[in-house]
Amino acid sequence: MIDYWPWWAGAAGLALVTINYTVTTDRSLGVSSAWDRVLHWRSERRVERINARVTDDRVLVEALAAATAEQFGGRPPAPAPRHAAPADPQALGLDTSPTADTNNPFANLLPAPLVSQAALLLSIFVGGWIAAVTAGRFHLRLDMGDGFRQIVTDKPIHMVATLFVGGILVGFGTRLAGGCSSGHGLSGCGRLQPVSLLATAVFFGTAVVVSFLLWKVF
């Protein structure tokens, strides 16, 4: 029998991970979004390079001046001097918390750096490996364990089809809801976001029903 952490220790650990990630990156924790961005790292790097040019205040002012002149005619006004007083971030409705980038008030509106998303996924893998090794339970295997065998491989073929369709629905639902159980359940619920509270209730409510059907009905 596997000895698990007590529930309160697991909750404290998840809370510390979520808080640390939010404070470090000034973004919400989300595993599904991180996985999606890492899988499409080439396009994400192109977007990051474009954002880096656009969020430079001098380049942004010059681009806005040129676009204004093109639309309304006339000579574009000269860019504001570098020593001029910047616009008030609070008046623009931007984040003014200590974790926000004071040199670029628009930085918190951009996605988290791609390297931080890759580091998050790598940390999950390394953390799980360290936990298994220190507990003496690490070993390579080619199956999903006894529980999976009892539910799927020892059952009729329709169970495999059911889980396959279920996996597709999970991916579709994650994109439709704008996040998974980590993004909504940990970050969103921790900040009392109504959308996250509703999404998490649907996640776990559906999981309870499906688990009952798998173990008691099928």
Residue, of 9 and 57, whose pLDDT is higher:
9
pLDDT tens profile 74-97? 555 555 555 545 555 455 454 555
The answer, yes or no, to whether residue 5 has pLDDT greater than 80, is no
C-beta of residue 94 within 8 angstroms of C-beta of residue 100: yes
Burial of 159 (0-12, 13-18, 19+ CB in 10 A): middle
- Residue 69: predicted pLDDT: 77
Helix axis angle, 157-177 to 194-212, nearest 10°? 180
Residue 24 sits at φ, ψ, to 5 deg, of -70, -45
| Per-residue pLDDT tens digits for 168-201 | 888 888 888 788 888 888 888 888 888 889 988 9
Q: What is the pLDDT of residues 27-58, one digit of tens each?
A: 778 888 888 888 888 888 888 777 776 666 66
- Type of residue at 83: H
Report domain extents, the chain. 143-218
3-state SS of the chain: helix, strand, coil percent to 5?
65, 0, 35
What is the model's pLDDT at position 218? 59
The residue among 191, 172, 184 whose CA lies nearest residue 31 is 184
